[in-house]
């Protein structure tokens, strides 16, 4: 009996695909889907095909604005509001979980709240075709760095991949340059100091690496050891750019063709020098940072936390190729969308007409709104 059980258990990759196809629709929670994908390569392949089929059946939505507003002056409660900036139309009363809104990464909505004086609650809302996703609640994260008595503040939350593709890593950094890392299904966070804070203006998982960029264009690589502890490498993989002062903002983003781009933004420069654009390459054992002129037909949407790049030709008439759409906060409750085009170096600004606005960020819902 024991031999039969072992033989049966070892044949998971050999199960017929039609049987696996019948299992996937019965998976209720995203965590079940992730565990299904992690069984073996053949199961992961079936899950990936299923996800791609579902996405083809949906009309992919270009980025929309998620606005958080108190709606009433002096009111502390918030109301989420999804706004189509291109058509100037909106959808109110979006049902989102009552967590403090943080940002988005890999298409997921991310919520963080201080559950008590000592801990953060972290919730991830994955992309899903029929709603905003089944929430993934991660283990509680301590608010304090060792030896400190005041709670830290979250600066960045980075996911290694869309949770719908399988197991993923989470990296959370604070304004005091402390980091917490964990893998899905792990019970504990591993925390560590990161050293210099200027190299974490932007963080991204890219091809099994964690890269951080500075506001002067330098790039640093972080390493996750076998025991999952996070250790910063001593050397920079790319130094700061020479004769360049600190930018007003810097971000790393993966283009739709798979290239890794770095964008530096200077809010007080002449329009023609507003943005500097680079492609990061690794070849023959060398890292390179190459200036480029445009986005190869992509449009980049940049707001809170992480930018998103889409192919503009997928949405004709809605976004311009080779353009950046940046959400800027000029004053409290006063937000604008700055559109910059790399082809003709033109720029225009549109006000976001929403009173008592507290947050504005681009999201890409997987359903057509």
Give domain limits for the chain: 1-57
Position 369 pLDDT exceeds 50: no
- What mean pLDDT, rounded, does the chain reach? 75
Are 348 and 339 spatial neighbours (Cβ–Cβ below 8 Å)?
Answer: yes
H-run or E-run covering 17: helix 17-23
Report the distance separating Cα 200 and Cα 215, nearest Å.
9
Question: Is 90 exceeded by the pLDDT of residue 122?
Answer: no
Paired tokens of 259:
């290239």
The model's pLDDT over 279-336, given as tens digits with 9 standing for 90+, comes to 999 888 889 999 999 999 999 998 866 788 999 998 888 889 999 999 888 777 788 8
* Full strand arrangement of the beta sheet holding 202-206: 202-206, 209-213, 219-224, 230-232
Tell me how far apart the alpha carbons of residues 88 and 104 are, in angstroms, rounded to a whole number. Answer: 22
Determine contact, residues 201/215, Cβ cutoff 8 Å: yes
pLDDT in tens, 187-236: 788 877 766 666 678 888 898 788 888 888 899 888 765 455 555 554 67
Q: Percent of the chain at pLDDT above 70?
A: 68
Pairing of strands 219-224, 230-232: antiparallel
Residue 264, token pair as written in the block: 């530096």
**pLDDT tens digits, one per residue of 230-279:** 555 546 789 888 877 777 788 899 999 999 999 998 877 666 678 899 99
Q: What is the mean pLDDT of residues 30-56?
A: 71
Polymer length in residues for the chain = 369
How much is the pTM? Answer: 0.76
Beta bridge pairs of residue 336: 328, 351
Contact, 47 vs 33, CB < 8 A?
yes
Max alpha carbon distance in the chain (Å)?
Answer: 77
Residues 52-76, mean pLDDT to the nearest whole number: 61
């Amino acid at each position: 009996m024991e031999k039969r059980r072992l033989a049966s258990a070892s044949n998971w990759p050999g199960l017929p695909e039609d049987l696996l196809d019948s299992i996937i629709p019965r998976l209720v929670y995203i965590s079940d889907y992730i565990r299904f994908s992690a069984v073996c390569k053949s199961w992961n392949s079936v899950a990936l095909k299923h996800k791609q089929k579902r996405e083809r059946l949906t009309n992919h939505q270009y980025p929309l604005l998620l606005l958080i507003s108190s709606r009433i002056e002096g009111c502390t409660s918030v109301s989420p509001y999804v706004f189509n900036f291109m058509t100037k139309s909106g959808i109110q009363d979006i049902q989102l979980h009552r967590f403090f809104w943080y940002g988005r990464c890999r298409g997921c909505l991310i919520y963080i709240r201080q559950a008590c004086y000592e801990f953060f609650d972290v919730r991830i809302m994955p992309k899903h075709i029929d709603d905003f996703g089944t929430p993934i609640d991660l283990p509680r994260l301590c608010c304090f760095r060792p030896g400190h008595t005041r709670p830290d503040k979250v600066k960045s939350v980075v996911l290694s991949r869309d949770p719908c593709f399988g197991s993923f890593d989470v990296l959370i950094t604070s304004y005091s340059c402390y980091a917490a890392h964990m893998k899905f299904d792990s019970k504990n966070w591993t925390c560590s100091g990161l050293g210099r804070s200027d190299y974490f203006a932007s963080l991204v998982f890219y091809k099994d690496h964690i890269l951080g960029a500075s506001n002067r264009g330098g790039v640093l690589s972080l390493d996750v050891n076998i025991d999952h502890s996070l250790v910063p490498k001593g050397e920079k993989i790319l130094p700061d750019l020479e004769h360049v002062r600190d930018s007003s903002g810097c971000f790393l983003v993966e283009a739709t063709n798979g290239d890794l781009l770095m964008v530096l933004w200077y809010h007080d420069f002449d329009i023609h020098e507003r943005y500097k654009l680079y492609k990061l390459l690794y070849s023959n054992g060398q890292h390179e940072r190459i200036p480029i002129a445009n986005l190869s037909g992509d449009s980049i949407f940049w707001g809170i936390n992480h930018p998103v790049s889409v192919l503009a030709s997928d949405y004709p008439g809605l976004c311009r190729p080779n353009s950046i759409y940046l959400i800027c906060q000029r004053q409290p409750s006063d937000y604008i969308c700055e559109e910059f085009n790399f082809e003709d170096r033109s720029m225009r600004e549109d006000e976001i007409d929403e009173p008592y606005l507290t947050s504005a960020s681009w999201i890409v819902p997987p359903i057509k709104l």
